[in-house]
Amino acid sequence: ASRYFSSLLESEQRSSFGIAFDIDGVILRGRDPIGGSPQAVRRLLKDSGNLNVPFLFLTNGGGVPESKRANELSEQLGVKILPSQVLQGHSPFKSLLKRYENQLIIAAGKGEPAVVMSEYGFKKVVSIDEYASLFENIDPLSEYKKWTTNQVLDRSVHPMNTVPRCDVSSEAVKAVFVVSDPVDWGRDIQVLCDVLRCGGLPGQENGHQPPLYFASDDLEYQAVFPSNRLGMGAFRIALESVFNRVHHNPLEHVSFGKPNPVVFKNAEAMLRQLQVSYRSNNSKESGDSGLQSFKTLYMIGDNPSVDIKGARQAGHPWFSILTRTGVFRGKHNHAEFPADMASRMMELLAWCKLILIN
C-alpha cells in the first residue's frame, strides 16, 4: 500500500490537491480520536512547511454551530481548526435563508438546533422541544418521560425571546429543518406528523405539507458502541412510514449531507478558498501568486454508501479513500460502492507522511 501511495503522490504537484476528512468513524469515535488521527492532522499543519495542503472536515453530523465544532475539534486534535474548515450536514441550510429568513420554522435534533439556524440568519426559529411545550398534551407519553431537555440554552440565544409564544402556537409553520439526530423519536414523529399533515398548524383540518429538510440521510454511523448506530436516515424512514399511513399524500422531503453532490461542490469551493488564502500568504514571501486547479481532492471516509458514493458521483477531481475504522468493516473494498482506495488508519498515517515528503 505504501508503494502505491508513494507512486500516486509522486505524480501529484505540490498544492494541487486537497483533503476532506469525514469525522465520525475516521477522525473520532464518539468524542475520542481514532488511531493516529490527531498526529496526521498535526502533520498536515505543522510539518508541511510552505506546502500548505488545504484540508477540511466534511461530516454529516452536527447540532452545534460550525464555530463551536471548530473549537471542539481544535481541542480534540490539538491544532487550531478554523470554522471555515468545518462543513456539517446542516451547513447547506444557509442557502435557504432568503426563502425563510422571516418565516416561522422548526429546528429539530440534538444539541442546539435553533442556535445553529439563528446563526445562519433565520429570524423566527423555534426548537422542536420548545414548540412541543406550547401545545398541551401534544405528546400523550410525556408524563412517562423522566428526562428534561436543555431548552434554556436554545431560548437564550435565538429570537424566540422576542416572538410572543402565543403567536408561535397560532401561526402556521412554514418549514421544518431536521438539523441533527432527533433525541425523542416518538414525540418528534408525533409532532412532525401534526405539523406536516395540517398545513403547518397542529389541530387544523388540512393543508399543504410545509417543506421538510434533513441535514443528512445516514442510515447508520459509527459512534462509541461497537456496532453501528441508527442515524438521521433511520429517523427519516420511521417518520415517512408513519406519515404515509396517516396522510393521503406521501411525505415530501429534501436531504442534504453526503452523498448529495451539492455538498461536494461546496467542499471543493471551500478548499479552493483555503488554497487562495494560503497562496496569498505565501506569495507575500515568495512573490509567486499563481494558482493551480486541483488535480485531486481526497475524500477520506468510513461509509461506502455516503462518503464513497458521494465522492464517486461528484467525479473529477474527487478521489475516494475508504477506511476500516468505522461503518465499513470488510476485508477488501466495498462491493456496491468501491472506493478508489481502501485503507487502514495506519496506512493513512503513512499516506499523510508521504504527502509531506513528496
- Contacting positions for ligand G3P (CB under 6 A): 22-25, 59-61, 181, 216, 218, 221, 231-232, 303
Q: For the CB of residue 24, give the shortest distance to ligand G3P in the complex, in Å.
A: 3
Task: Work out whether 25 is an interface residue with Mg ion (CB under 5 A).
Answer: yes
Structure-block grid coordinates of residue 190: 408525533
Instruction: Give the integer Cα–Cα distance in Å for 306 and 319.
Output: 14
Output 24 or 194, the one with its CB closest to ligand G3P. Answer: 24
Task: Work out whether 231 is an interface residue with Mg ion (CB under 5 A).
Answer: no
Output 87 or 104, the one with its CB closest to ligand G3P. Answer: 87
Q: For the CB of residue 270, give the shortest distance to Mg ion in the complex, in Å.
A: 19
Task: Work out whether 220 is an interface residue with Mg ion (CB under 5 A).
Answer: no
* Contacting Mg ion within 273-302 (CB under 5 A): 302
Phi, psi of 282 (to 5 degrees): -70, -40
Task: Work out whether 233 is an interface residue with Mg ion (CB under 5 A).
Answer: no
Q: How many residues at the interface with Mg ion, by CB under 5 A?
A: 5
Output 59 or 260, the one with its CB closest to ligand G3P. Answer: 59
Output 47 or 75, the one with its CB closest to ligand G3P. Answer: 75
Q: Is the dihedral of CA 325, 328, 329, 332 positive or negative?
A: negative
Location of C-alpha cell 442546539:
112
- The string of DSSP letters for 214-262 reads ES---SEE--SSSSPEE-HHHHHHHHHHHHHHHSSSPPP-EE-STT-HH
- Whether the CB-CB separation of 139 and 191 falls below 8 Å is answered with yes
Nearest to 15 by CA among 270, 273, 279: 279
Nearest to 271 by CA among 73, 64, 44: 44
- Residue 88 interacting entry, from Mg ion, ligand G3P, none, C-beta within 5 to 8 Å by type: none
Task: Work out whether 184 is an interface residue with Mg ion (CB under 5 A).
Answer: no
Nearby residues of 345 by Cβ (< 8 Å), 6 or more positions away: 34, 35, 36, 37, 323, 324, 325
Q: For the CB of residue 304, give the shortest distance to ligand G3P in the complex, in Å.
A: 12
Output 107 or 195, the one with its CB closest to ligand G3P. Answer: 107
- Residue 119 interacting entry, from Mg ion, ligand G3P, none, C-beta within 5 to 8 Å by type: none
Task: Work out whether 24 is an interface residue with Mg ion (CB under 5 A).
Answer: yes
CA distance from start to end of the chain: 16
Q: For the CB of residue 27, give the shortest distance to Mg ion in the complex, in Å.
A: 9
Q: For the CB of residue 127, give the shortest distance to ligand G3P in the complex, in Å.
A: 18
* Stretch of 24-32, 80-88, 118-126, 232-240 contacting Mg ion, by CB under 5 A: 24-32
| 318-323/296-301 β-pairing | parallel
Nearest to 41 by CA among 312, 345, 291: 345
Task: Work out whether 22 is an interface residue with Mg ion (CB under 5 A).
Answer: yes
